[in-house]
Structure 1
Amino acid sequence: MAPVTTARFDMQKPPLMSDEVSLADSPTTWRSREMLIAFFTIAMISLHLILRFAVSTSETTYNVPLWLTLALGGIPLVWELLKKLWRREFGSDLLAGISIVVSAMLGEYLAGALVVLMLSGGEALEAFAVSSASSVLRALSKRMPSVAHRKVDSVVEDIPLSKIQIGDHLAVFPHETCPIDGTVVEGHGVMDESYLTGEPYLMSKAPGATVLSGAINGDSALIVRADKLAVDSRYAKIMEVMRTSEQKKPQMRRMADTLGAWYTPLALAIGVVAWIASNDPVRFLAVMVVATPCPLLIAIPVAIIGSISLAARRAIIIRDPSSLETADTCRTLIFDKTGTLTYGEPNLVEQLLVDDSRQHELLSYVGSLERFSKHPLAGAIVAAANRAKTVQQNVSEVSELPGKGLTGIVAGHRIEVTSRKKLLAHQPESSDALPAQAGGLECVILVDDRYAGTYRFRDTPRPDGASFIKHLGPRHRIDRTMLVSGDRESEVEYLAEQVGIKEVYSSQSPEQKLNIVNEETAKANTIFVGDGINDAPALMAATVGVAFGQNSDVTTEAADVVVMDSSLQKIDEFLHISQRMRRIALQSAFGGMALSLVGMFFAAAGYLPPVAGAICQEFIDVIAVVNALRVAIPPKKLFDY
């Protein structure tokens, strides 16, 4: 077991690194117009209502705000919809554009202004919620220092990352992010590489150990030799993959657009036929008023917003509303290993002893000694000792020198915790007593210089993992579950066997994960669940990306859904919320459209004039929206495994 000490250098720590980044700093501006139109429309409608009912002005006066809305907000939106029509894109918003024009021609200015608000507000809301490549890249950039601390002889100077040369010696201070891929040349400590590699443990670092850019240093300063330029580092490669992932992610067709693709041409056809058959353009206008797709433009967004609210109350943050529409259509669920199906921390799982009858006694000795250690596995041993309710022994003469392991006198016995390699180097005759090597991490225990046993550690599987995986098919129509991890084969296979996953990929880089997700998404809609920076490209490429916890701002930015409380139950709740939202939204949309179709036929036959048609449509809207509001009412139970 590698020792941990704090290396000391004759140098002062430079000022903290700057947060300035060079990538994707400019804010996205493409959604600004829709947001501006939405806010302007709200203000104008409010002014109209005040002038009409509070001030009692003339009709011309109180209609001025609505005219301004139709002119300044409606015309730009209608122009965009005309371009969609030219490209033969027949979505529900196209019919809304026609409704704006028809409302203006009929003098139904308030109705037209409300349609403007629905169009612009919906687009602004969606744009605000959907994550973008620039935000992810900014988050990635902010994690990296803008300068490196180059050490020449005993002097440390700050240099830009672009000035780092292969072979430079760089100081990485406690809790800093390593700027390059390299090799430790001075110091002993630990680094957290879990966000990059999927390994759930803090990794010991001593001279000769490799380090990855983006890893977070522990409590000890390290001197690292640069083996690659910053532009060729592991972290830079992940950023490059992220850009590719965003560019290649297919755009999912929204529910309202799918339904509007046939509803819009049908409504237009009914209106045109009514006009031609009666030779009366008023009938076309009446059909268009009744056909205004409010069940699509209002009921579906209401259901989505209600579901977002319900999810938030369950500690599930919906960053992309379209994920609620598409999650229930996904047939493949892909898991990262660390922190999703496991807790992401080591756990003592085996105690292989020379004398099994002394298991409790030995754990008492080792647990008492490990309370004085900073090694990554010390906490797991202490936790196991606490669970076993062992007695804390008196400890003295504790030593944890670099390369020597942990030793101490415990209850009169000399206890040593070391590694298999160090034991065999000093006591080769102990090889016969040692168990065969297996997956996971291990440490070797000596009592009074004699081999006493081996402790083995693994990342702890979640106890409900197997039942969760088993219920996905029957309850959520998930045809395939896959485990794709950057961790070692032995660790991944062990977990897959515990939870019942057959399709397993281990030792996968972010690029390989991305390729797997792209291939699977081409076959069927996918959900990817991950929690580390190495998962970010896959999260963006999947149909729905779910980030587990808040371990990384990069992961949060890349995901469509963020589960704040890291538990599989929350994944199940999200799937049920999506399923329920889709069912209620479709009820509202189809029910509203069916009633609208009945109204259109009456209008086409001349039995429903435009004003009566507008009133009829408002009645239909109320029914659709009231039904959609049911989605915000929490059911008795949101999980079923």
Structure 2
Amino acid sequence: MKRVRTVVSSYPLVLASLLVGAAGLVLLAASAPVLASWLVGLYALGVAAWEAIGMIRELLRGRGGLDVLAVTAIVAAVLVGEPWAALVVVLMLTGGAALEDYAEHRSKRELTALLHRAPQLATRLAGTAVAGRSAAGDPRADPAAGAGTEGTGSPAEPMTEDVPVEAVRVGDPLLVRPGALVPVDAVLVSERAVFDESSLTGESLPVERAVGERVPSGAVNGASAVTVRATAVAADSEFQQIVRLVEQAAGSRARVVRLADRYALPFTVLALAIAGIAWAVSGEAVRFAEVLVVATPCPLLIAAPVAFLGGMSRAARFGLIVKGGGTLEQLSRVRSAAFDKTGTLTSGRPSLERILPASGFAEAEVLRLAASAEVYSSHALAGSVVAAARELGYRLQEVTQAAEQATNGVTATLADGRTVRVGKPSWLRGFAPGLDPVALRPGELAIYVAVDESPAGAIVMRDRVREEAVSSLDELRRLGIERTVMVTGDVAATAEPIAAGLGIAEVHAECRPADKVRIVSGIQPRPLIMVGDGLNDAPVLAAADIGFAMGARGATAASESADIVNRFDSLAGLPRAVRIGRDTVRIALQSIWLGILISVVLMLIAAFGFLPALLGAWLQELVDLIAILGALRAVGPRSERRQREGR
């Protein structure tokens, strides 16, 4: 009953049209055809007047055209004695909004599913929030210990309170029950836990985490209750960032949706011309109305938006958040691609190969100093340096101040007063003139370390090319990408062997953010898609025709700058996005032309007097439905949906 009330309140004109139609049928049954015609005709003219007001407003804004046909058809049908045909056109107009809402809801199903998964509540360990924040630096300090066993939990569970996720603060200890969502970004306090992170990363296998490891919001806990400590508030957590991107995508409208407007004026002129000629040649005014009732194509108004929303929903099913339908249009025409290297073409998780200390420094000291500074870096390689130091059991030194220089490196001031710099050799030479580059083998990269004004050494690592990189680039070329370019902040000795292995002939190395923007702006042919993942890629992602962010690791700046965010850590999403863009535009154009073609055929039939107005109006309703169902093909084939859902 509630749903019925919602439908009635949302679409009152639909209900009114049905009630007027029912009343007219009752009058016909009561042998009052004249009264029935007056009732239906006056109602139709009233709706036409209401629509005309909106039409005039649109025309004054420089838009519109198709409403002219609908209003003219209603008035003409009533004037030539076809009020019931006019009522069917009215029903088409008033029911069009309901039909569009249904189609949009169907096409956006994958997008809205992500929104519905957003965590709403968190289970906080009661009475420990203040203490938890004071001990936030030590994830091993389990706040559940000694918390008592009273409250909402079981006898083996500490006292808890359920709070809105917005009430969680950094440092709050949280209990995550089996099968529950992690409400905010956190670190694991329990010794070990297993999480399902497939909705965030696309990895189907459960992920095992140890004490102190980061757990992203939106991950699903395994079979045992665990304790975590919040490291971010809800608004800054990973899943909420995804939600904001999805809301932006769901609320957007494609520029190509206006593609229908390109055909509005020519189609209106054509329809009026056919109707006028039919009237003039036949001498029958009814021909004018018969032509126009089949010249009100909802496909031009609805099918294109539905197709683009369907394409965005299809992309979301594969972890691709497309922020606007205009991006899908650009994807359908993309001809060049530029790539960052680290974390984009490579895994971004390099392993330690060797340490080359400078005179006066030991290997362990070089790694420990570098890791102490890299804790404060957002670069994709920083985490690997820190992980290598921790795996070897090195204790990091206390840092009193740190600052990152985008694309160059990080500077950290230690508690003992020394200044440690970690980054590219070209940058470090400005502080440590004696620094010399080290010899590297193909596929290796070096991270240089300086202490005060002296070189401390280099850390040599190897970053593996993504397993799917070769096949993804090959597929891009098959899809018509004519030019591929690598634009990286890394040195040429590291970048060129990787590019050669992937068939990328053009490499621009040691690029700063401004260099990347300049280089990408000059690449032809266009449109161009730029693929990156880090903070230093944010400017060039915003400057490119299409910015594609590998956002699986929460690179916020890159995700916000990009037009497409790949939530899954796989480059295979790139050719998939291009394919979805092309499919979507093709289906949208097919839907538009289908509506035009069928309407023109029906107009010609009506012009020769073979299509009564009432039958033509009902046929037009059928055409609308066919075109919209065709547009829903952009959601993707059923087999693809089943494959993604694992059925």
TM range, smaller chain: 0.5 to 0.7
Q: Which residue of 2 aligns with 1:588?
A: 591
Matched, 1:80 2:58: yes
Counterparts of 1:396 and 1:556, CA distance in 2: 31
Q: Secondary structure, in 3 states, of the residue corresponding to 1:529?
A: strand
Counterparts of 1:327 and 1:378, CA distance in 2: 32
Counterparts of 2:575 and 2:367, CA distance in 1: 40
Q: Which residue of 2 aligns with 1:95?
A: 66
Counterparts of 1:525 and 1:634, CA distance in 2: 28
Q: Which residue of 1 aligns with 2:333?
A: 329
Residues 289 and 84 (structure 1 numbering): CA distance in 2 closer, same or farther, change over 3 Å? Answer: farther
Q: Secondary structure, in 3 states, of the residue corresponding to 1:291?
A: coil
Q: Which residue of 1 aligns with 2:418?
A: 403
Q: Which residue of 1 aligns with 2:578?
A: 575
2:54 maps to a residue whose letter is P
Q: CA offset at residue 520 of structure 1? A: 4.6
Q: Decide whether the 8 Å contact of 1:332 with 1:480 is kept in 2.
A: yes
Q: Which residue of 1 aligns with 2:546?
A: 544
Q: Decide whether the 8 Å contact of 1:275 with 1:284 is kept in 2.
A: yes
Q: Decide whether the 8 Å contact of 2:488 with 2:511 is kept in 1.
A: yes
Q: Which residue of 2 aligns with 1:625?
A: 628
| Matching residue within 263, 286, 297 for 2:301 | 297
Q: Which residue of 1 aligns with 2:446?
A: 441
Q: CA offset at residue 607 of structure 1? A: 1.2
Q: CA offset at residue 332 of structure 1? A: 1.8
Residues 402 and 458 (structure 1 numbering): CA distance in 2 closer, same or farther, change over 3 Å? Answer: farther
Q: CA offset at residue 339 of structure 1? A: 4.0
Counterparts of 1:579 and 1:101, CA distance in 2: 37
Q: Decide whether the 8 Å contact of 1:66 with 1:113 is kept in 2.
A: no
Q: Decide whether the 8 Å contact of 1:44 with 1:65 is kept in 2.
A: no
Residues 393 and 573 (structure 1 numbering): CA distance in 2 closer, same or farther, change over 3 Å? Answer: closer
Q: Which residue of 1 aligns with 2:384?
A: 380
Counterparts of 1:405 and 1:442, CA distance in 2: 13
Q: Which residue of 2 aligns with 1:106?
A: 77
Q: Decide whether the 8 Å contact of 2:297 with 2:620 is kept in 1.
A: no
Q: Secondary structure, in 3 states, of the residue corresponding to 1:340?
A: coil
What are the equivalent positions in structure 2 for 1:322-471 lying under 5 Å apart? Answer: 322-343=326-347, 345=348, 347-348=350-351, 350-351=353-354, 373=372, 375-376=374-375, 379-381=383-385, 383=387, 401-403=416-418, 435-436=438-439, 440-442=445-447, 455-457=459-461, 461-471=465-475
Counterparts of 1:353 and 1:383, CA distance in 2: 18
Q: Which residue of 1 aligns with 2:156?
A: none
CA-to-partner distance for each residue in 1:219-264, whole Å, 9 max, x for gaps? 9xxxxxxxxxxxxxxxxxxxxxxxxxxxxxx976854345557655
1:442 maps to a residue whose letter is I
Q: CA offset at residue 306 of structure 1? A: 2.4
2:483 maps to a residue whose letter is R
Residues 394 and 382 (structure 1 numbering): CA distance in 2 closer, same or farther, change over 3 Å? Answer: closer
Q: CA offset at residue 333 of structure 1? A: 2.3
Query: Could you state the TM-score of these two structures normalised by the residue count of structure 2?
Result: 0.53
Identity among equivalent pairs (%): 32
Q: CA offset at residue 485 of structure 1? A: 4.3
Q: Secondary structure, in 3 states, of the residue corresponding to 2:610?
A: coil
Which structure has more relative contact order (CA 8 Å, sep 6+)? It is 1
Counterparts of 2:627 and 2:328, CA distance in 1: 19
Residues 633 and 468 (structure 1 numbering): CA distance in 2 closer, same or farther, change over 3 Å? Answer: closer
CA-to-partner distance for each residue in 1:321-360, whole Å, 9 max, x for gaps? 23223422222223344543345x5623643779xxxxxx
Q: CA offset at residue 291 of structure 1? A: 2.3
Q: CA offset at residue 585 of structure 1? A: 3.2
Q: Decide whether the 8 Å contact of 2:21 with 2:40 is kept in 1.
A: no
Q: CA offset at residue 566 of structure 1? A: 3.8
CA-to-partner distance for each residue in 1:519-564, whole Å, 9 max, x for gaps? 557x533333344566555545544333332746665454433322
Cα RMSD (Å): 5.4
Q: Decide whether the 8 Å contact of 2:420 with 2:449 is kept in 1.
A: no
1:77 maps to a residue whose letter is M
Counterparts of 1:332 and 1:602, CA distance in 2: 47
Q: Secondary structure, in 3 states, of the residue corresponding to 1:562?
A: strand
Q: Secondary structure, in 3 states, of the residue corresponding to 2:338?
A: strand
Q: CA offset at residue 271 of structure 1? A: 3.0
Counterparts of 1:122 and 1:511, CA distance in 2: 44
Q: Secondary structure, in 3 states, of the residue corresponding to 1:500?
A: coil
What are the equivalent positions in structure 2 for 1:43-192 lying under 5 Å apart? Answer: 43-48=11-16, 51-52=19-20, 70-72=48-50, 74-81=52-59, 84=62, 94-107=65-78, 108=86, 111-112=89-90, 114-115=92-93
Q: CA offset at residue 472 of structure 1? A: 0.7
Matched, 1:524 2:526: yes
2:499 maps to a residue whose letter is A
Counterparts of 2:640 and 2:46, CA distance in 1: 48
Q: Decide whether the 8 Å contact of 1:96 with 1:293 is kept in 2.
A: no
Q: CA offset at residue 380 of structure 1? A: 2.4
2:55 maps to a residue whose letter is L
| Matching residue within 323, 346, 349 for 1:319 | 323
Counterparts of 2:339 and 2:99, CA distance in 1: 35
Q: CA offset at residue 614 of structure 1? A: 1.1
Query: Could you state the TM-score of these two structures normalised by the residue count of structure 1?
Result: 0.53
1:333 maps to a residue whose letter is A
Q: Secondary structure, in 3 states, of the residue corresponding to 2:337?
A: strand
Counterparts of 2:43 and 2:321, CA distance in 1: 37
Residues 77 and 283 (structure 1 numbering): CA distance in 2 closer, same or farther, change over 3 Å? Answer: same
Q: Which residue of 2 aligns with 1:472?
A: 476
Residues 480 and 268 (structure 1 numbering): CA distance in 2 closer, same or farther, change over 3 Å? Answer: farther
Q: CA offset at residue 320 of structure 1? A: 1.0
2:582 maps to a residue whose letter is Q
Q: CA offset at residue 279 of structure 1? A: 3.8
Q: Secondary structure, in 3 states, of the residue corresponding to 2:568?
A: coil
Q: Decide whether the 8 Å contact of 2:73 with 2:293 is kept in 1.
A: yes
What are the equivalent positions in structure 2 for 1:9-48 lying under 5 Å apart? Answer: 42-48=10-16
Q: CA offset at residue 308 of structure 1? A: 2.5
1:629 maps to a residue whose letter is L
Counterparts of 1:499 and 1:394, CA distance in 2: 37
Counterparts of 1:487 and 1:575, CA distance in 2: 27
2:59 maps to a residue whose letter is L
Q: Decide whether the 8 Å contact of 1:336 with 1:484 is kept in 2.
A: yes
Residues 435 and 486 (structure 1 numbering): CA distance in 2 closer, same or farther, change over 3 Å? Answer: closer
1:610 maps to a residue whose letter is A
Q: Secondary structure, in 3 states, of the residue corresponding to 1:568?
A: coil
Residues 395 and 339 (structure 1 numbering): CA distance in 2 closer, same or farther, change over 3 Å? Answer: closer
Q: CA offset at residue 473 of structure 1? A: 1.4
Q: Secondary structure, in 3 states, of the residue corresponding to 1:442?
A: strand
Q: CA offset at residue 580 of structure 1? A: 2.7
Counterparts of 2:394 and 2:556, CA distance in 1: 44
Unaligned stretches of 5+ residues in structure 1: 1-38, 86-92, 130-174, 176-218, 220-249, 355-361, 407-418, 446-450
1:403 maps to a residue whose letter is R
1:479 maps to a residue whose letter is E
CA-to-partner distance for each residue in 1:104-144, whole Å, 9 max, x for gaps? 44353563475478699989x9xxx9xxxxxxxxxxxxxxx
Task: Compare 58-67 and 42-51 and name the one that shifted more.
Answer: 58-67
Counterparts of 2:51 and 2:565, CA distance in 1: 34
CA-to-partner distance for each residue in 1:274-311, whole Å, 9 max, x for gaps? 23333444323322321222232233223222222222
Q: Decide whether the 8 Å contact of 1:352 with 1:455 is kept in 2.
A: yes
